[in-house]
Structure 1
Amino acid sequence: MQLIEIDTKVKFLRGFADKTRIQILEALMDEEKTVSQIVEAINGNQSNISQHLACLKGCGIIVGRQEGRYCYYRIRNQQVRELLNMFNVVLADVQNDVACCDSHID
């Protein structure tokens, strides 16, 4: 197994560290969507969503494909989808501790 640098791991994990980005990922769990469909699904604004999509794409978490004048976004692969599902599994066990956590180190 290839060793991944700590800084790379941190950058990747920061891709998940935003409420809007998590909402986008949840909207993409079952199927690919256009920006407009994502905006509608999470009740956001297009400019903000586009910035978050660029972040997720830059971190390798999602991919986009152009079809005519629309760009469709989807979760990159099954491993990322499984990681998102694993977040839910782990959080089901520790959610009370996480909800009470006041110590966030940047």
Structure 2
Amino acid sequence: MKRVGMRVRAKLFRGLGDLSRLRVLEALRDGPLSAGEIVTRTGLSQPNASMHLACLAECGLVTWERQGRFVHYEIADKRVMKLLDQAEDLLLQVGPLIDACPRYRRPARAGQRVPGKRR
């Protein structure tokens, strides 16, 4: 079996590690949606949703099709949701530990000092 490099794997998980992109993928779980429906279901602004949809499409995780005036998006491969489902199963066991882990804190905003990190 051909293996993918660690760097590419890390990029996949970084991409899936974004809360907004996870919301978009969850919204698409049950089938294709228009961009407007994704905005409604996720609570994201239209520009923000479009940015994340473009990212997911460029990475091959989501596909899109123009239908008249609307663009409909869907999960490109059922393995994307299978991966998220397996992560959910794992999180049922280790989720509280991950949530409490100080190393997985939310990244600091620009100009904000991270405790314990030297400048």
The TM-score, its normalising length taken from structure 2, stands at 0.82
Partner of 2:34: 34
The DSSP-based 3-state class of the residue aligned with 2:72 is strand
| 2-structure distance, mates of 1:100, 1:22 | 20
- Residue pair 2:98, 2:104 contacting (<8 A) in 1 also: no
Q: CA RMSD in A?
A: 1.6
Amino acid at match of 1:15: G
| 2-structure distance, mates of 1:51, 1:33 | 16
Higher relative contact order, structure no. (Cα contacts within 8 Å, ≥ 6 residues apart): 1
| 2-structure distance, mates of 1:89, 1:25 | 17
The DSSP-based 3-state class of the residue aligned with 1:71 is strand
- Residue pair 1:61, 1:76 contacting (<8 A) in 2 also: yes
What is the Cα deviation at residue 62 of structure 1?
Answer: 1.1
| 1-structure distance, mates of 2:92, 2:104 | 20
Does residue 19 (structure 1) correspond to residue 19 (structure 2)? The answer is: yes
What is the Cα deviation at residue 104 of structure 1?
Answer: 3.5
The DSSP-based 3-state class of the residue aligned with 1:9 is helix
| 2-structure distance, mates of 1:47, 1:91 | 31
Partner of 2:88: 88
Percent identity among equivalent residues? 31
Amino acid at match of 2:62: I
Structure-to-structure mapping, 1:1-106, within 5 angstroms: 1-104=1-104
| 1-structure distance, mates of 2:98, 2:63 | 30
Unaligned runs of 5+ in 1: none
| 2-structure distance, mates of 1:61, 1:70 | 20
| 1-structure distance, mates of 2:80, 2:44 | 23
Q: Which runs of 4+ in 1 moved over 3 A?
A: none
Partner of 2:113: none
Structure showing greater radius of gyration is 2
The DSSP-based 3-state class of the residue aligned with 2:16 is coil
